[in-house]
Amino acid sequence: MDSAELLDLLGNANRRRILRLLAHKPCYVTEISEYLGVSPKAVIDHLKKLEDAGLVDSRTDDQRRKYFSIARNLRLEVRVSPYEFGTKSAYPASRGLDISACRHLSIDVDDGDDEDLRDLARELARLEQLANELSLAQRWVQGRVTDVRDQFDQEVGDGDGRLYAELVSAVARGKSSAEAVAREVEAPLELVEEALRELAEEDVLERTPDGWALA
């Protein structure tokens, strides 16, 4: 399920309340119904939608009572700015990912083997602190992106600044052909080709044997 569909799914308040409840403990339908104050039939309908999306799964106990729980971690990000609207979903990386191999990151990596309860508590606190720092850094980056796009708009003028900034961003993300850039920014190819040539005249972009690139 893509991020737009997830956003529609989670737009329902009762589904969000179900997930908040299941984040605390697995529950059966009657528990959820009493918590929400809605009928079991409505709960079953919400749970089916969440199961179909892969957010919730279920198991049956010895009394044949069906318990529901959250199936996996998921992060859904919504970006709204004067220059952008988009959604992105991401799942946690596998434990086997070697983060130390990412040369632009410097994170203290511990494999966590043979930890006792105190070690686990300290590691949890460290990771939560890191998550807060990364969230703050992400907010700072998003603010700077908006500032730079504002400046780009002012420098270019004639109302073309936003388009030019989008073209530069698309090229920076690896879209090297005019066709790929046009699809990325959802603009007519002829308009994109003309703008790319103008950016090349300003020494912002350059045409290479592999296509367009930052100058």
Q: What does the pLDDT look like over 37-77, one tens digit per residue?
A: 999 999 999 999 999 999 999 999 888 889 999 998 888 88
Q: Is the pTM of this model over 0.95?
A: no
Residues 6-32 as b or e (16 or more Cβ within 10 Å = b) = beebbeeeebebbbebbeeebbbbebb
Is position 84 within any domain? no
Alpha helices in 53-160 (DSSP H): 117-156
Contact present, 199 and 164 (Cβ < 8 Å): yes
Angle at 107 between CA 103 and CA 108, to 5 degrees: 125
pLDDT reported for residue 143:
86
53 CB neighbour count, 10 Å cutoff: 16
Is position 207 within any domain? yes
Residues 125 and 166 in one domain: no
Q: Which of 137, 152, 167 is the last residue of a domain?
A: 152
Q: Which of 70, 86, 109 is the last residue of a domain?
A: 70
| Closest residue by Cα to residue 79 from 152, 16, 13, 7 | 7
Q: Which positions ≥6 away from 197 have C-beta within 8 Å?
A: none
Count: domains in the chain: 3
73 CB neighbour count, 10 Å cutoff: 8
Structural domain containing residue 190: 157-214
Is position 10 within any domain? yes
Residues 163 and 201 in one domain: yes
Is position 83 within any domain? no
- How many angstroms separate the CA atoms of 34 and 199, rounded? 61
In the three-class reduction of DSSP (H, G, I as helix; E, B as strand; rest coil), residue 1 is classed as: coil
Q: What does the pLDDT look like over 114-156, one tens digit per residue?
A: 578 888 888 888 888 888 888 888 888 888 888 887 887 777 7
Averaged pLDDT of the chain: 84
Is position 7 within any domain? yes
Residues 138 and 110 in one domain: yes
| Closest residue by Cα to residue 35 from 56, 14, 55, 51 | 14
pLDDT reported for residue 38:
94
